């Protein structure tokens, strides 16, 4: 009887594990060779020993490779490296012609004519103007996540289609012939070329997409490539492999033969993999920074994500400029980033972060041109506080500070509470920690007093931070409204002279920050370990983030 029992148990276990093992081995067979030759100490497979291979990590899987639906940094990076649109961001993050060979603009700036270069998809078919027309219209048919990018770019009728007044067929894009593409915009736009590097504007091969149907973008086999790399394999939650695309029009520029990306979600695991030479580039958390900061492979890179506080402008006290200034000034932002967070992030005294945007001709950092705002001592802050309170006849108030349950945000909230309560007499801060989704809902309903928010850029231009604050804008979420600010933004939106437009952007930020309508806290940063032999990985400030086209191994 006992034997019978064991037999039964074994059968259950083997039965369940067995059928899964079958699944495993099929996974293995497709990735085996790439793994073998990527690890340096295995000399068994000779195929790749001469090739240039790098091993990267990703903190998550690719959700989808359908460019209409892609909605996260991981997918954008993959799409950007296996596909190519009209423009691609160069190593200085400026748009350069890619699938388009030539770009002519009509005199009124409304009609853009692109000549598509001789390039081919990985199934051998030529890339045509129709591939763009089809892909762009499909975004609206599919209700793509980011179809608002078409509105931002001002493509004709995009807004009307989203509003439901027109159909996707009315979009201002038409393939005049096989190689000529005509795009019509609603206003002349200085941003258009920059925006066209975004993956939602990628072309699609209609015949292929229709053939694979629902499975499009869910497997490596169901996508086509027209970019610097081919997606050789993709295992769910495990990783993917890029291989150089021999048929890419600019293939001679591409140096890397293969890129293996492994999904590693735990930082400690990534560090152990790094130590065992299994990966060549990882992002580490603040707890590892002290250990690695003197390593030659270490780099601390500031990112364009800004963390700031929204004031509820309906709140009697926050409608007062001096009170807002006092609250902002009294927070020791350097103490916050260096002591409390200690993760490489830098204090922020403005809306637009540093190392994000540079003026059109002189290439001076936006930050340098506009300087910092509202820096001062605690004494000055107290003086502003007292002025503000007497202006509205108040002797202090109790308020809530909302924060999402993100570790850094919670730490920041506690620090801010301590700073405000110990420096400003009469203020009581109650911290309210909620999940991210709940914070967002409260922000949208403007149901908070102060809230710690964050914002990452949608595109590489200061406008992505500035137009958040126009009256009733979708990212305003604090009932802030200022006619002068609105008119500067409106003017910048139609200005085609790059320098004049840049000045308007500077003015807009100045207008907002002179009165401290938000309280900036810090700009985030990444601590990276990259093997020093790897050169030329370009990281753009906004999506698509990474370019491997120019990467190389010495």
Partner 1 sequence: MGRYVVQRMGYMVITLLIIVTITFFLMQLLPGTPFSNPEKLSERQLELMSAKYGLDKPLAIQYMTYIGNLIQGDLGLSFQSEGRTVISMIGDRIGPSALIGGQAVVIGVLCGFILGVISALKHNTIFDYGSVFVAVIGMSIPSFVFAALMQYYIGVQWGLLPVALWKDYSYSIMPSLALSAMVIATVARFIRSEMLEVLGQEFVTTARAKGITEFVVIIRHVLRNALIPVVTVLGPLTVSIMTGTLVIEKIFAVPGLGEQFTLSILVNDYSVILGITLFYSALFIFIVFIVDILYGILDPRISMGGGKKDAA
- Residues lying near partner 1 in the complex (CB under 8 A) are found at 1-2, 4-5, 8-10, 12-14, 16-17, 20-21, 23-24, 27-28, 31-32, 35, 61, 63-64, 66, 69, 71-72, 143, 145-148, 162-163, 214-218, 235-239, 262-266, 268-269, 272-273, 275-276, 278, 435-438, 440-441, 455, 458, 474-475
Whose Cβ is closer to partner 1: residue 76's or residue 356's? 76
Tokens of 357: 């945007």
Backbone angles phi, psi at 30, to 5 degrees: -85, -25
Whose Cβ is closer to partner 1: residue 264's or residue 352's? 264
- Residue 462 in contact with residue 367, Cβ under 8 Å? no
Shortest distance, position 219 Cβ to partner 1, whole Å: 9
Shortest distance, position 477 Cβ to partner 1, whole Å: 10
3-10 contact pairs (CB < 8 A, 24+): none
DSSP H helical ranges for 320-365 = 321-330, 333-335
Whose Cβ is closer to partner 1: residue 192's or residue 278's? 278
CA-to-CA distance for 260 and 239, rounded, in angstroms?
7
Q: How many CB atoms lie within 10 A of CB 428?
A: 12
Tokens of 24: 């495993």
Shortest distance, position 14 Cβ to partner 1, whole Å: 8
Element (H, E) at 511: helix 498-514
CA-to-CA distance for 368 and 91, rounded, in angstroms?
22
Whose Cβ is closer to partner 1: residue 139's or residue 327's? 139
CA-to-CA distance for 506 and 499, rounded, in angstroms?
11
- Residue 134 in contact with residue 202, Cβ under 8 Å? no
Q: Residue holding tokens 């497997």?
A: 219
- 219 prior amide bond cis, ω within 30: no
Whose Cβ is closer to partner 1: residue 38's or residue 330's? 38
Whose Cβ is closer to partner 1: residue 39's or residue 180's? 39
Shortest distance, position 542 Cβ to partner 1, whole Å: 12
Shortest distance, position 17 Cβ to partner 1, whole Å: 3
How far from chain centre, in Å, is Cα 181?
Answer: 28
Whose Cβ is closer to partner 1: residue 65's or residue 528's? 65
CA-to-CA distance for 350 and 347, rounded, in angstroms?
9
Shortest distance, position 95 Cβ to partner 1, whole Å: 21
Q: How many CB atoms lie within 10 A of CB 481?
A: 14
Shortest distance, position 23 Cβ to partner 1, whole Å: 4
Shortest distance, position 476 Cβ to partner 1, whole Å: 12
Whose Cβ is closer to partner 1: residue 175's or residue 263's? 263
CA-to-CA distance for 67 and 69, rounded, in angstroms?
5
């Amino acid at each position: 009887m006992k034997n019978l029992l064991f037999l039964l148990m074994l059968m259950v276990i083997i039965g369940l594990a067995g059928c899964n093992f079958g699944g495993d081995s099929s996974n293995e067979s497709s990735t085996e060779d790439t793994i073998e030759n990527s690890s340096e100490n295995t000399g068994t497979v000779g195929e790749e020993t001469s090739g240039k291979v790098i091993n990267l990590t990703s903190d998550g899987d690719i959700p989808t490779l359908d460019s209409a639906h892609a909605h996260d940094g991981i997918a954008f990076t993959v799409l950007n490296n296996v596909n190519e649109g009209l423009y691609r961001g160069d190593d200085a993050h400026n748009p350069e012609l890619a699938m388009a060979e030539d770009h002519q603009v009509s005199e009124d700036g409304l009609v853009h004519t692109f000549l598509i270069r001789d390039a081919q998809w990985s199934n051998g078919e030529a890339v045509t103007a129709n591939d763009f027309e089809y892909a762009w219209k499909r975004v609206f048919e599919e209700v793509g996540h980011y179809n608002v990018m078409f509105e931002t770019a001002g493509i004709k009728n995009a807004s009307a289609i989203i509003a439901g007044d027109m159909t996707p067929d009315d979009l201002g894009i038409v393939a005049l012939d096989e190689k000529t593409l005509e795009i019509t915009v609603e206003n002349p736009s200085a941003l258009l070329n920059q925006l066209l590097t975004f993956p939602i504007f990628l072309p699609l091969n209609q015949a292929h997409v229709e053939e694979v149907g629902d499975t499009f973008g869910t497997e490596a086999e169901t996508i086509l490539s027209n970019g610097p790399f081919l997606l050789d394999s993709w295992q769910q939650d495990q990783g993917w492999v890029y291989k150089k695309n021999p048929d890419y029009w600019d293939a001679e520029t591409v140096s890397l033969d293969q890129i293996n990306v492994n999904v590693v979600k735990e930082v400690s695991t990534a560090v152990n993999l790094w130590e065992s030479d299994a990966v060549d580039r990882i992002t580490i958390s603040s707890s590892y920074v002290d250990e690695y900061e003197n390593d030659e492979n270490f780099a601390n890179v500031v990112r364009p994500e800004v963390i700031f506080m929204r004031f509820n402008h309906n709140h009697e006290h926050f409608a007062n400029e001096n009170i807002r200034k006092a609250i902002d000034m009294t927070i020791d932002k350097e103490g916050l980033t260096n002591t409390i967070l200690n993760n490489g992030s830098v204090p922020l005294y403005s809306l637009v972060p540093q190392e994000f945007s540079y003026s059109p001709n002189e290439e001076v950092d936006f930050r340098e041109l506009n300087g910092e705002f509202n820096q001062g001592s605690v004494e000055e802050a107290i003086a502003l506080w007292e002025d503000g309170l007497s202006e509205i006849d108040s002797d202090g108030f109790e308020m809530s500070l909302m924060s999402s349950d993100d570790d850094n945000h919670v730490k920041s909230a506690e620090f801010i509470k301590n700073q405000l309560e110990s420096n400003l007499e009469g203020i009581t801060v109650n911290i309210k920690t909620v999940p991210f989704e709940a914070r967002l809902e409260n922000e949208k309903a403007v149901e908070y007093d102060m809230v710690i928010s964050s914002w990452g850029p949608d595109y590489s231009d200061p406008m992505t931070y500035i137009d958040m604050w126009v009256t009733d804008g979708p990212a305003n979420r604090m009932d802030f409204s200022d006619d002068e600010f609105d008119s500067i933004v409106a003017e910048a939106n139609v200005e085609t002279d790059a320098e004049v437009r840049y000045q308007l952007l500077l003015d807009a930020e100045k207008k907002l920050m002179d009165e401290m309508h938000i309280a900036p806290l810090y700009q985030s940063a990444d601590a990276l370990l990259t093997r020093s032999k790897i050169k030329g990985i370009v990281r753009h400030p906004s999506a698509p983030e990474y370019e491997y086209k120019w990467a190389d191994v010495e």
